[in-house]
């Protein structure tokens, strides 16, 4: 099974889409949560700054500037991360208290809020830390600024974003891998189903899918397919029985009629014999058609339980050619054969002979005088398949008709009435090829007809 | 020719008895397998016609038991089963020929006569002769009235078979089976073409034709008979 096949499968595409949508929606959800969380954090932060400013104001009112300086000094004893930073300036702009540098570069936010960066020691390193600050006029020209850093929030932001990103990637990778695995599993099941089904269709219409080996939906599907095959078989059986019975039941009275005609002819005067002779021949043709029809049925539905022995394929083909050569010579057809010696296959010699005879007979029939026919059999590696090719320089068969000519009694419009035959030759040849586990294919010989017989 | 027919279908039985009688042969008809085996073992028949499906004892077992008791009377199987493996099975069990129902009386007669002749001419002759036609089986030379005839290998085999069955009707199916070695149904007159080539070589330079076509049946090699033109 190829990777491309798995990736292109419906299951995989479904799972991939699912993974993408799922991780995107999880991402959006986390983003929303994070936004809510950080906005509430900033609300708390700013509220605490406003509160601290109010405290400063109260301290200033009660204890004047010294009280404020004292208060600020006390605050510096608290742990650094969560504490406030202060700057109190005199009316002339000079710093009178606080631990912020005199002139940090402020960015103005709206509604009187300020933001700035200040270098701070963190874990022994100096880093720029973001601060949120708010100025307030204490009175008498004194200005106070209270600031608080929100580095921890920023750090948490980065952490959360990184975590989000990593978990997204992990989700996608895991999802794709899981999708690949489950798609290849279901594909393997489908493939097994396909192989079994085509085997049933090709060689053994009586066989059924193994439902015990499948699970879940596949078992259900296998059961349904088996029911379908059962129905098909019984329908086919019905049709076959009817047609076989017709052929079979008509054969006996027809033979009786033929034999009576034969007696009649013997008792007739010489000049009337010819007419009855023609009737006799017609009877024989009809009987031959019935026989061919019954043979095709037997071959098609008899399974593959015939006599199976080693057949000298090369010799057999040469025998067929030798038998038909005089027919070709009569039409001055150039019959050329290129047959690799010593090729063998398994099967029934009489049937294979019949098949090749039908094909060669057709070729001779449809090739015009002084045309060409070629028969070839290549040397096959031991264990590989044989291909026998018949090519002729006749009118060929249009591509659209190539499937139809295998149907029983089907004859091309152009050959009707022109050539003798019952329209069963190719059906019989195909039934024989199939019984041997082979195929029969038609193509163009540029110009003419080319027939490939593929045998195991 | 004395024939034993073991066949349970009365209409087919009557038909065969009548046909053989008309051709001047004696035919005894038995309807079941066990009785058939008893009669066959008494061994006064030239050829046996045995149906594959019989009450009591089926045709294949009958012939196997017959052969086991060392009776070599030639056997022709009759069967409604036309598949190839049935035919091979029949021949492997000890049958000498196989004919699928329905068949023409000409085909049956021709095959019976060929079977009888084969069992009579068990010794291998060095030379075959029909009228002024001679075939030397050692040197593979063929001549007519002293004039050498040059034959292809297959034509030689064809002629040999016809000469061994000289005077009797040989059907196309028999020729395909015996000369070409395949049992199949040719769609066209391919045998006729081979025969006409052989006829060219045999009869062209002579007034008296030896190779005759028997309408509705097959061919016959020999001097012309009264009813054939």
- Per-residue pLDDT of A291-324, as tens digits, reads 888 888 878 776 555 557 888 999 999 999 999 9
Q: Minimal Cα distance from A357: which residue of B? A: B186
Which residue numbers of B have CB closer than 8 Å to A's CBs?
A: 15, 19, 82-85, 87-89, 100-106, 154, 180-188, 190, 193-194, 197, 215-216
Least confident of A224-233, A381-390, A414-423, B200-209: A414-423
SS3 A372: strand
Nearest beta carbon to residue B184 from set A287, A302, A357: A357
Q: Which residues of B fall within a CB distance of 8 Å from A258?
A: 104
CB B98 within 8 Å of CB B79 = yes
Task: Report CA-CA distances (Å) from A326 to A299, B154, B195.
Answer: 30, 12, 10
Nearest beta carbon to residue A350 from set B183, B186, B193: B183
B193, two tokens: 């073409």
Give the mean pLDDT of A393-409. Answer: 83
Give the mean pLDDT of A346-364. Answer: 90
Q: Which residues of A fall within a CB distance of 8 Å from B100?
A: 291
Question: Across the interface, do B103 and A330 touch by the CB < 8 Å criterion?
Answer: no
Min distance A376 CA to chain B CA atoms (Å): 21
Question: Across the interface, do B190 and A251 touch by the CB < 8 Å criterion?
Answer: no
Q: Does A322 touch chain B (CB under 8 A)?
A: yes
More confident residue, A83 or A296: A296
- Chain B interface, mutation test: which of A327, A363, A364, most B Cβ atoms within 10 Å? A327
Gap between the Cα atoms of B198 and B191, Å rounded = 11
Per cent of chain A over pLDDT 90 is: 8
Buried b (16+ CB within 10 A) or exposed e, B205-219: eeeeebbbebbbbbb
pLDDT single digits (tens) B113-139: 888 887 666 567 788 888 888 898 888
pTM, entire model: 0.65
Nearest beta carbon to residue A258 from set B85, B104, B185: B104
Is residue A285 over pLDDT 60?
yes
Q: For the residues of A339-369, what is the DSSP string, one character each?
A: E-TT-EEEE-HHHHHHHHHHHHHHHHHHSPT
Min distance A210 CA to chain B CA atoms (Å): 30
CB B40 within 8 Å of CB B71 = yes
End-to-end CA distance of chain B: 27
Question: Across the interface, do A348 and B85 touch by the CB < 8 Å criterion?
Answer: yes
Is residue B64 over pLDDT 50?
yes
Is residue A13 over pLDDT 50?
yes
Highest mean pLDDT among A184-188, A194-198, A331-335: A331-335
Min distance B192 CA to chain A CA atoms (Å): 10
pLDDT of residue A290: 82
Gap between the Cα atoms of A171 and A176, Å rounded = 8
Is residue A154 over pLDDT 60?
yes
pLDDT of residue A318: 92
pLDDT single digits (tens) B25-37: 999 999 888 998 9
pLDDT of residue B76: 93
Give the mean pLDDT of A95-102. Answer: 77
Q: Tokens 């049946």 — which residue? A: B217
Is residue A413 over pLDDT 80?
no
Min distance A14 CA to chain B CA atoms (Å): 53
Gap between the Cα atoms of A260 and A241, Å rounded = 29
Question: Across the interface, do A361 and B105 touch by the CB < 8 Å criterion?
Answer: no
If pLDDT is split at 50, 70 and 90, which confidence band does A212 have? Answer: confident
* Residue B102 preceded by cis peptide, ω within 30: yes
pLDDT of residue B228: 46
Nearest beta carbon to residue B216 from set A280, A319, A357: A280
Window 288-307 of A: residues touching B by CB (8 A cutoff) are: 288, 291-292, 294-295, 298, 302, 305-307
Per cent of chain A over pLDDT 70 is: 91
Nearest of A398, A456, A399, A406 to residue A429 by alpha carbon? A406
A205, two tokens: 């219409």
Question: A198-207, long-range: CB within 8 Å, 24+ apart, which pairs?
Answer: A200/A229, A202/A434, A203/A304, A203/A434, A203/A437, A204/A303, A204/A304, A205/A229, A205/A232, A205/A233, A205/A236, A205/A301, A206/A233, A206/A303
Is residue A79 over pLDDT 70?
no
pLDDT of residue B229: 43
How many angstroms separate the most distant Cα atoms in chain A? 158
Any residues with CB less than 8 A from the CB of A390 and at least 6 apart, and which?
Answer: A359, A360, A363, A373, A374, A375, A449, A450, A451, A453
Gap between the Cα atoms of A359 and A455, Å rounded = 15
How does the average pLDDT of chain B come out, rounded? 85
A255, two tokens: 């033979």
Is residue A350 over pLDDT 90?
no
If pLDDT is split at 50, 70 and 90, which confidence band does B6 have? Answer: very high
Nearest of A375, A395, A252 to residue A323 by alpha carbon? A375
Least confident of A130-134, A295-299, A302-306, A387-391: A302-306
């Amino acid at each position: 099974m190829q990777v491309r096949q798995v990736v292109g499968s419906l299951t995989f595409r479904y799972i991939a889409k699912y993974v993408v949508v799922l991780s995107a929606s999880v991402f959006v959800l986390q983003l929303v949560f994070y936004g809510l969380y950080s906005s509430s954090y900033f609300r708390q932060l700013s509220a605490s700054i406003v509160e601290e400013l109010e405290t400063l104001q109260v301290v200033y009112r009660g204890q004047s500037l010294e009280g404020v300086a004292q208060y600020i000094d006390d605050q510096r004893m608290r742990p650094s991360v969560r504490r406030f930073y202060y700057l109190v300036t005199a009316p002339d702009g000079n710093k009178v208290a606080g631990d912020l540098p005199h002139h940090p570069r402020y960015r103005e936010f709206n509604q009187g809020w300020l933001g700035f960066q200040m270098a701070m020691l963190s874990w022994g390193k100096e880093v720029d830390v973001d601060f949120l600050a708010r100025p307030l006029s204490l009175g008498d020209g004194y200005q106070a600024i209270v600031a608080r850093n929100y580095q921890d929030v920023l750090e948490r932001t980065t952490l959360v974003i990184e975590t989000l990103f990593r978990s997204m990637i992990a989700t996608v990778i895991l999802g794709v891998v899981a999708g690949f695995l489950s798609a290849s599993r279901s594909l393997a099941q489908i493939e097994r189903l396909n192989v079994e089904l085509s085997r049933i269709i090709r060689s053994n219409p009586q066989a059924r899918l193994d439902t015990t080996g499948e699970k879940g939906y596949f078992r259900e599907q296998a059961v349904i397919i088996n029911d379908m095959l059962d129905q098909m078989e019984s329908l086919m059986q019905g049709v076959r029985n009817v047609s076989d019975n017709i052929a079979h039941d008509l054969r006996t009275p027809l033979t009786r009629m033929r034999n009576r005609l034969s007696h009649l002819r013997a008792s007739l005067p010489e000049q009337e014999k010819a007419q009855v002779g023609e009737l006799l021949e017609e009877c024989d043709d009809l009987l031959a058609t019935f026989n061919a029809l019954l043979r095709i049925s037997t071959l098609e539905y008899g399974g593959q339980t015939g006599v199976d022995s080693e057949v000298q394929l090369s010799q057999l083909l040469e025998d067929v050619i030798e038998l038909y050569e005089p027919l070709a010579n009569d039409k001055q057809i150039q019959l050329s054969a290129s047959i690799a010696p010593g090729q063998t296959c398994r099967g029934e010699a009489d049937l294979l002979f019949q098949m090749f005879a039908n094909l060669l007979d057709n070729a001779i029939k449809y090739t015009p005088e002084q045309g060409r026919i070629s028969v070839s059999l290549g040397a096959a590696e031991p264990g590989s398949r044989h291909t026998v090719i018949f090519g002729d320089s006749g009118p060929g068969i249009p591509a659209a008709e190539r499937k139809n000519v295998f149907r029983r009694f089907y004859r091309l419009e152009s050959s009707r009435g022109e050539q003798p035959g019952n329209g069963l030759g190719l059906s019989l040849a195909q039934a024989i090829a199939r019984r041997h586990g082979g195929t029969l294919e038609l193509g163009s010989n540029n110009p003419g007809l080319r027939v490939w017989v593929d045998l195991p | 020719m004395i024939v034993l027919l073991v066949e349970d279908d009365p209409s087919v039985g009557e038909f065969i008895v009548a046909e053989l009688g008309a051709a001047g042969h004696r035919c005894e008809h038995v309807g079941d397998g066990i009785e058939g085996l008893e009669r066959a073992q008494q061994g006064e028949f030239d050829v046996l016609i045995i149906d594959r499906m019989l009450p009591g004892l089926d045709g294949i077992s009958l012939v196997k038991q017959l052969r086991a008791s060392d009776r070599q009377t030639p056997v022709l199987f009759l069967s409604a089963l036309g598949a190839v493996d049935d035919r091979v099975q029949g021949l492997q069990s000890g049958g000498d020929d196989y004919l699928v129902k329905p068949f023409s009386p000409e085909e049956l007669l021709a095959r019976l006569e060929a079977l009888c002749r084969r069992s009579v001419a068990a010794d291998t002759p060095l030379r075959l002769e029909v009228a002024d036609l001679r075939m030397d089986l050692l040197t593979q030379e063929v001549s007519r009235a002293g004039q050498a005839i040059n034959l292809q290998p297959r034509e030689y085999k064809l002629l040999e078979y016809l000469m061994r069955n000289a005077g009797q009707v040989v059907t196309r199916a028999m020729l395909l089976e015996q000369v070409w070695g395949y049992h199949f149904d040719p769609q066209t007159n391919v045998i006729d073409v081979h025969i006409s080539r052989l006829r060219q070589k045999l009869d062209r330079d002579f007034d008296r034709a030896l190779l005759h076509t028997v309408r509705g049946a097959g061919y016959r090699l020999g001097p012309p008979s009264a009813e054939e033109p």
